[in-house]
Structure 1
Amino acid sequence: MSEIQIRELGPAEYKLWDELVETSSCGTVFHTSDWLTLCRDTFSKDLKIYGCFQEDALVGGFPLFIRKMNGIFKVASSTCEMTPYGGIVIKDFPGASVRKQVQESHEILNQLRVFLSNMKLDSIEMKLSPDFKDIRPFTWNGWESGVFYAYYLNLEKDIDAGLSKDLKKNINKSAKEGLVVKKLKDSNLYYNLFSMVYTRQNLSSPVQKIFFDRVIELVERKNIGEMWIAETPEGERVAAQIRVWDKQRVYAWTASSDPSYRKSGANSLIYYNVISDLKVEGHKEINMLAANHSQFTDFITGFNPELVPHYLINYTSQRYKLLRVCRGLFKK
């Protein structure tokens, strides 16, 4: 393999990055420069995107949000608030044998791993997309790993045939009560419903309204998502969802509802109608995202989805490990 060079990308090179994300199977809408810079600006993050070049072609890379902790430790994460996936993206090798794919991809990944280790960061955490399947160049060299899950629903199958009895009952109940589902772009409404979920738990919202303002503007401008609401016959809006997508699938990015309507079946109706709408629009698959939260599993599995694993990889410096040990002792 030709010599590989890795360096930070300038804003003028973000188009190159987006082209790699678009063509790589492990790239997602959450890897795009539009999404990353939106998060950077909204949450006041320090964003860096690094590119891996081979003969002037971008063959891999990764974004990182970097911050100082306690004024001493430099920690980095591939994701931030409301961003489920991030981290490494590398080019695909279509048509290559398994051995050739492993050789080519591991050469890139090992170079990226060495570069990351040389950045002198105290902690690096990357939650990778489900299509990033081979983390061995990292785990073979001392990185820690963890397994998370997602639920995928095939929209090309008969959705109704896979529904559980309880889900069908709730869908029919809410429909008989006159609830309707429709598309609507309204960040004020979404934020109000989103905040209710946290207020009920005596918690503050993890994001401000401006974040939803900018996401809805982005998905409309780029045609990468839509917002739906569930409304009572009296015109009261009781539930909402925002779904985003890329070339591979839809992501059930965020859903909120008025807690006082928990027993109305509104959540079941809006999930079902949105999925049915996406199917009609020609989308082939939806990542329902809720598999890592036990309180949502029973509801989501009512749609008969497939459980899919994805990985987190983590590097920790010796002094940061010592800090964690000391904190653990202090808590005891």
Structure 2
Amino acid sequence: MQLLVIDDSSIWDDFVDSSPYGTLFHKWGFLKAIEKHTGYTLLPYAMYSDDNLICIFPAFLKTNYGLNVALSPPPRTGVPYMGFIMSSDYADLTQNGKEVRLREIIKLVTERLEEISPAYVSFQLTPSLDDIREFKWNGYSVDPLFTYYIPTDAPLDDIFSGFSRSTRNMINKIRKNKFNMEMKESNDLSLFSDLLSKRYEEQGIRFPIMNMDYLADLLRLYPANIKLYYVYDENGNIIGSSIVIIYKDKVISWLGTPKPDVNLPVNELIFWELVKIARETGRMFEIGGADTQRLCSFKSRFNPSLETNYRVFRRRNIGVVAEWVYLNLYKKSSSLM
């Protein structure tokens, strides 16, 4: 097995599209947009067995306060997970075969990263990569992370019946149009910027992404996969918003408005509409935000499944400073809607 740095977007994206573990966050254009707007350098690692591409791993390198850090993903990108993705044949391997492959991949990546002497390394893995033993055995520390999913393969009424009573009552009123709200798709990102900036400032919360040009680039690159929605009241005023990722088997509530400043069930409407979109397109609905306690009491009312993914990290003694910067100055922006 060998590790190469590849710079061929078609090879990379073909792998992401064909892998059952690939996400839109792994796509070449998405990674290059992150590189462009964060100042981190993309390291597009690819692992080959003979001539077969079996794994890709996008990492990002930057020097902060004189210390090299390697992250996947970088902070303030809105990306909940990244890290390794395996080829489609990984699921068909025996347990021994999976362990051998994962061991070789982690050994190769760790050795390559050691060449740049990072003081701090952090990877937030996708929920599909749940065997983190090899990381622990290679000196990585592990933090569990969480997200919410709503499966949508059941009839819509059955999904609805699983919601809490208060949520069902609210959505019944929404269905009867008692609040005179409507959710519409839009291409006007400036309204989203104004709305989020205002609400985050009012709540004293750090803005979760580095700039709006980053989002504009992503919407331009992936118009079929990234959708912007606004919620309007009866007077045509925008009272809520959501940016949604639609890719493979998921509809992901990605970026959205913090708690609206109106006494209307805006986020209930958004979630209900997205559940319907997910079901109509044969996808599950990922709510996210299950790591933030103050958000869980609202999101758990939709009866989601709790899924686990992991952050694995290593640091040298001096890397404590880099970790503190990452966790306190960058990472502690608010979780999104």
TM-score higher than 0.5 here? yes
Are 1:30 and 2:25 an aligned pair?
A: yes
Aligned 8 A contact 2:253 2:287 in 1: yes
Are 1:237 and 2:238 an aligned pair?
A: yes
Deviations 1:294-329 (CA, angstroms, capped at 9, x unpaired): 11101111111100110011011233248879xxxx
Which moved further from structure 2: 25-34 or 163-172? 163-172
Identical residues among aligned pairs (%): 23
- Superposed displacement of residue 272, structure 1: 0.7
- Superposed displacement of residue 55, structure 1: 1.5
Aligned 8 A contact 2:60 2:73 in 1: yes
Alignment match, 2:182: 180
Aligned 8 A contact 2:171 2:268 in 1: yes
- Superposed displacement of residue 6, structure 1: 1.2
Alignment match, 2:80: 84
- Superposed displacement of residue 283, structure 1: 3.1
Aligned 8 A contact 1:228 1:274 in 2: no
| Structure 1: stretches of 5+ with no match in the other structure | 326-332
The alignment partner of 1:132 has SS state of: coil
Which moved further from structure 2: 15-24 or 294-303? 15-24
- Superposed displacement of residue 230, structure 1: 1.2
- Superposed displacement of residue 69, structure 1: 1.6
- For 2:253 and 2:320, how far apart are their aligned partners in 1? 35
How is 1:87-166 mapped onto 2 (pairs within 5 angstroms)? 87-91=83-87, 92-157=89-154, 158-166=158-166
Are 1:267 and 2:267 an aligned pair?
A: yes
- For 2:18 and 2:203, how far apart are their aligned partners in 1? 42
- Superposed displacement of residue 204, structure 1: 5.5
- Structure 1 pair 258/312, CA: closer, same or farther in 2 (3 Å)? closer
- Structure 1 pair 68/257, CA: closer, same or farther in 2 (3 Å)? closer
- Superposed displacement of residue 75, structure 1: 0.7
- For 1:44 and 1:35, how far apart are their aligned partners in 2? 14
- For 1:121 and 1:43, how far apart are their aligned partners in 2? 18
1:53 to 25, 37, 48: 48
- For 1:111 and 1:324, how far apart are their aligned partners in 2? 23
Aligned 8 A contact 2:126 2:310 in 1: yes
Which moved further from structure 2: 245-254 or 203-212? 203-212
- For 2:136 and 2:15, how far apart are their aligned partners in 1? 25
- For 1:98 and 1:23, how far apart are their aligned partners in 2? 22
| Structure 2: stretches of 5+ with no match in the other structure | 325-337
Aligned 8 A contact 1:173 1:265 in 2: no
Alignment match, 1:213: 216
Alignment match, 1:65: 60
Deviations 1:224-276 (CA, angstroms, capped at 9, x unpaired): 13222211111111111111032231221111167321x21111112111221
How is 1:10-25 mapped onto 2 (pairs within 5 angstroms)? 10=7, 13-25=8-20
Alignment match, 1:41: 36
How is 1:246-265 mapped onto 2 (pairs within 5 angstroms)? 246-256=247-257, 259-261=260-262, 263-265=263-265
